[in-house]
Amino acid sequence: MGRAVSDAWKLPGSTITHRKLGTKKTRIERDHTRVVIREVEPADRERFCLTDDEVIRLADIGRKTADLLGGPQDIEWAITGSQIWILLARPVTSALPAGPPVAADITEGAKAARVRP
């Protein structure tokens, strides 16, 4: 109830090599002073929540943030129009997934980018 499987992208560099459409039946929204669960419109269920350009820009910001702060970061962000706002960056505290190195793995639902230098 009110949960979704996030859209996801993988980028080794500045090229998207994989994208996966998540499932989005309901969403949690703020309605003045309340939090409510609403149905996602059918057309929005079949559409990625970010454009390829936004994903590439977020991955670039994630890499630069990791370089600036000295290692992988969990990053919270928001987009308004074409402006990307970094809300919070903190060091990754859990082990990164095993497997071949991936430059960026962006998952929309968590509003986080995990970036390995």
101 or 63: whose pLDDT is higher? Answer: 63
**What global pTM score does this model have?**
0.72
Which of 41-50, 64-73, 101-110 shows the lowest mean pLDDT across its residues? Answer: 101-110
What's the pLDDT score for residue 13?
Answer: 86
Q: For residue range 16-37, what is the model confidence (pLDDT) as tens digits? A: 999 999 988 888 889 999 999 9
Identify the pLDDT of residue 55.
96
pLDDT tens sequence across 85-96: 999 999 988 776
What's the pLDDT score for residue 6? 87
In this structure, the strands spanning 73-80 and 18-20 are: unpaired
